[in-house]
Homo-oligomer: A and B are copies of this chain.
Amino acid sequence: MKLTNDKKILTVGLGLIGGSYAETLTKKGFAVTAIDSRREAIDYALKKGIIADGADVPDRDLIKNADIIVFALYPHIFLDWVKNYGSLIAAGTVATDVTGVKCSVVYEVQRMLPDGVEFIASHPMAGREVYGVENSTPSIFEGANFVVTPTDKNTEDAISLCEDLGKTLGFARVSRLSPEMHDDMIGFLSQLTHCIAVALMTSCDAPDTELYTGDSFRDLTRIARINEDMWTELFMLNKEPLMRHIDLFTAELTKLRNALAENDCETMKQMMRVSTARRARFDKPKNN
């Protein structure tokens, strides 16, 4: 299957990410439909022209008629949905997702889906500290990374389709990783950083701290405003990689702390030189 805009795309879950997919793809000329249990999300998206059709129940026709299905749900709701309604998906359909962890969902979903339905997992690495289709915007994908995580069950055809989806959505970089490498990477880049932001805020109990803050603290804690249900679930589903990265980070911070305690300026400076050199690689690429 090629990602031409005669393809009918169904998003299951119309929150911030599902809504931003729908809005972007509708603007690109695709016929986009949506299923979300929240009636107001569907009504809002219909009114705003973000979707062409939608339902607040797992509507058989919407599911059967989709060429491509994007699951944009919490992991456990995603797994439940596939278990309960996966059989409604027609053979020939390609499904993908937006889930932030992979090993704990990809293999299970591929096992549960009916024959002829290919699930190719992906992770759009974008987000905001607000929720719902009401906050959706294509701009959250600008400059961001999109990772496709194939398994040996996937065909090159579906992998390419999913990569094209990432490009069509406006992501700056589209990459492939195994589910295992993805989860290790995300444990470091995303989950560890959220843990750090939370621990920074909970260790801050002085009053009026906000009167004295600079940008660095604001930057480090932007993500400290966190959806506790979603992130606790994501952490639990990626426990081993995340714990390993927390331990590695804590060891480095302790090394810096001990260098300070021992007046070992050279070790501190050496760590800062490594940090400075590595950080240069991370500047946001310009979107093409």
Residues of A within 8 A of B (CB): 125-127, 144-145, 147, 173, 175, 177, 182, 184-186, 188-190, 192-204, 206, 209-226, 228-229, 231-232, 235-236, 239, 242-243, 245-257, 260-261, 263, 265, 268-269, 271-276, 278-284
Contacts and interface: CB of A to CB of B under 8 A. Distances in A.
B204 A278 contact: yes
A47 B162 CA distance: 55
A212 B147 contact: yes
Nearest to A212: B185
Contact of A253 (B189, B199, B212, B283): B199
Most chain B CB neighbours (cut-off 10 Å) among A197, A220, A236: A220
B185 A196 contact: no
Contacts of A188: 203-204, 206, 209
* Interface secondary structure of A, over-half rule: helix
Number of copies: 2
A253 B256 contact: no
A228 to B, nearest CB: 4
Contact of A200 (B184, B196, B225): B196
Nearest to A123: B212
Contact of A212 (B175, B221, B226, B249): B175
Contacts of A268: 228, 232, 235
A275 B198 contact: yes
A214 B190 contact: yes
Contacts of A281: 209-210
A235 B269 CA distance: 11
A217 B189 contact: yes
B232 A269 contact: yes
A217 to B, nearest CB: 5
Contacts of A175: 211-212
A87 B210 CA distance: 39
Contacts of A189: 209, 212-214, 216-217
15 contacts: A144-B214, A145-B213, A145-B214, A147-B212, A175-B212, A177-B212, A182-B212, A196-B220, A197-B275, A198-B275, A201-B279, A203-B251, A218-B282, A235-B260, A236-B265
